[in-house]
């Protein structure tokens, strides 16, 4: 495959990089648009009310009312202007970020070859991005911020997005739904598009907590206000929720016991995380893991999980880290198999012949000769511990 084709393939994997600021821009624009529409409606109706009052009033009060109206309108216009200014700054940031990210991908397409210094520089930035992304997902914000600043890639990573997600996840872990409900409000159209029931689940959880604390009056009010209106879509859940009023948290009835289960808070965290990734076009798995798995799938062979057949140079054979990560991956497709020396991990071929010991085990010529040179011609089979003289080894032929 030519370098340019490979680079196009790499660019194809970077959809999230471009889509994240675009989604953020769309959201910021929608929020400011809604705000303007709301404020404009209030301004228009209050102006109309005042004008109606002025028409009815006598001449002496007209002037005072008009001044009051102008003062009121002016204050509201001031607030609206400030809000629009903030939205404009936010939108400008996302536009700038989109430009920088597109430029970053364009840089790759303009790289002359994989051996060029330009590609090494691009790959270094890419590696920094992957590491910062991983740290952000793991909640190591200070380290991630420091690394992003040092590498000058603040506009290529999504620090604010992950900070906000962390704040919401922490709130859920503290058993507070308010922050996540606010997020649902800001992302209502995105959640609708993916048919998410996160908001309903959050409301249900707030209701369950009221029942748990046996605050039944508040629970009934909450049920009527937030859950009953969802009965057209979540009828069964609303019915079960209503019946929950008759049960105490210590109930053994499975259906109601599961609603009181504290692990529902962990499920909310998981659902929020998944919805947040989908809405923002982020991959659910960190890029670091995806990249590692892509590399590992190219190395993995059926031998990696056989203790007697492992290769000292193969990271997958080292079962402690990569072997676990690679467990669910397919084996690499090898058209031709090759013989690898168990002692050195080197490939055995015409330059380094496979040599058989009298017990039938085969090792590379270089490994055995090296062992013999260090032990007065004595060879010790690493598998059985049996000793032989170097003169006893024979060439092995594979058919």
Q: CB-wise, 24 or 311, nearer to Zn ion?
A: 311
Minimum distance from residue 326 beta carbon to Zn ion (Å): 9
CA distances for 27 relative to 21, 23, 82, angstroms: 10, 6, 18
* Assigned token pair, 297: 């799938």
CA distances for 87 relative to 25, 94, 276, angstroms: 10, 11, 21
Among residues 115, 147, 146, 113, which one has the least CA distance to residue 130?
147
Helix (H, G, I), strand (E, B) or coil at 339: strand
Among residues 50, 78, 272, 70, which one has the least CA distance to residue 171?
272
Stretch (H or E) spanning 387: strand 387-389
Side-chain half-sphere exposure of 329, counting CA atoms within 13 A: 25
Q: CB-wise, 21 or 323, nearer to Zn ion?
A: 323
Minimum distance from residue 357 beta carbon to Zn ion (Å): 23
Helix (H, G, I), strand (E, B) or coil at 393: coil
Minimum distance from residue 30 beta carbon to Zn ion (Å): 51
Q: CB-wise, 204 or 304, nearer to Zn ion?
A: 304
Number of other CB atoms surrounding residue 287 within 10 Å: 21
Minimum distance from residue 324 beta carbon to Zn ion (Å): 13
Minimum distance from residue 305 beta carbon to Zn ion (Å): 8
Q: CB-wise, 203 or 300, nearer to Zn ion?
A: 300
Minimum distance from residue 297 beta carbon to Zn ion (Å): 12
Q: Which residues bind Zn ion (CB under 5 A)?
A: 304, 314, 316-317
> Closest CB to Zn ion belongs to which residue?
314
Q: CB-wise, 104 or 300, nearer to Zn ion?
A: 300
Greatest CA separation found in the chain? Answer: 125
User: How many residues in total does the chain contain?
Assistant: 399
Among residues 321, 293, 285, 20, which one has the least CA distance to residue 134?
285
Minimum distance from residue 140 beta carbon to Zn ion (Å): 30
Q: CB-wise, 55 or 308, nearer to Zn ion?
A: 308
Minimum distance from residue 127 beta carbon to Zn ion (Å): 24
In terms of C-beta density within 10 A (0-12 exposed, 13-18 middle, 19 or more buried), how is residue 133 classed? Answer: buried
Q: CB-wise, 136 or 296, nearer to Zn ion?
A: 296
Q: CB-wise, 204 or 316, nearer to Zn ion?
A: 316
């Amino acid at each position: 495959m030519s370098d340019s084709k490979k680079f196009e393939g790499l660019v194809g994997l970077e959809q999230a990089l471009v889509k994240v600021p675009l989604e953020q821009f769309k959201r910021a624009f929608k929020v400011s648009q809604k705000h303007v529409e709301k404020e404009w409606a209030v301004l228009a109706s209050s102006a109309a009310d005042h004008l109606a009052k002025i028409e009815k009033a006598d001449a002496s009060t007209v002037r005072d009312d008009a001044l009051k109206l102008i003062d009121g309108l002016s204050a509201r216009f001031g607030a609206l202007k400030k809000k629009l200014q903030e939205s404009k700054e936010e939108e400008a940031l996302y536009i700038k970020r989109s430009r920088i990210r597109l430029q970053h991908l364009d840089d790759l397409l303009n790289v002359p070859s994989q051996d060029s210094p330009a590609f090494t520089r691009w790959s270094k930035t890419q590696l920094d991005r992957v590491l910062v992304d991983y740290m952000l997902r793991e909640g190591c914000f200070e380290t991630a911020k420091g690394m992003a600043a040092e590498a000058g890639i603040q506009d290529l990573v999504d620090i604010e997005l992950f900070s906000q997600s962390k704040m919401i996840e922490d709130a859920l872990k503290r058993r507070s739904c308010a922050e996540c409900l606010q997020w649902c409000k800001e992302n209502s159209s995105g959640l609708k598009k993916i048919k998410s029931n996160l908001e309903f689940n959050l409301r249900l959880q707030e209701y369950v907590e009221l029942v748990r604390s046996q605050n039944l009056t508040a629970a009934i009010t909450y049920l009527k206000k937030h859950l009953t209106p969802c009965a057209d879509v979540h009828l069964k859940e609303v019915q079960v929720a209503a019946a929950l009023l008759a049960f105490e948290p210590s109930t053994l009835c499975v259906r109601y016991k599961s609603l009181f289960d504290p692990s529902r808070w962990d499920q909310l965290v998981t659902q929020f995380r998944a919805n947040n990734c989908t809405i923002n076009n982020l991959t659910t798995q960190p890029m670091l893991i995806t990249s590692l798995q892509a590399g590992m799938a190219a190395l993995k062979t059926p031998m990696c999980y056989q203790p007697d057949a492992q290769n000292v140079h193969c990271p997958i054979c080292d079962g402690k880290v990569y072997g676990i990560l690679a467990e669910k991956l397919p084996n690499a497709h090898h058209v031709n198999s090759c013989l690898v020396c168990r002692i050195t991990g080197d490939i055995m071929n015409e330059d380094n012949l496979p040599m058989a010991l009298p017990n039938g085990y085969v090792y590379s010529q270089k490994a055995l000769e090296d062992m013999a040179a260090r032990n007065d011609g004595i060879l010790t089979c690493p598998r059985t511990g049996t000793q032989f003289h170097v003169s006893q080894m024979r060439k092995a032929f594979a058919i």
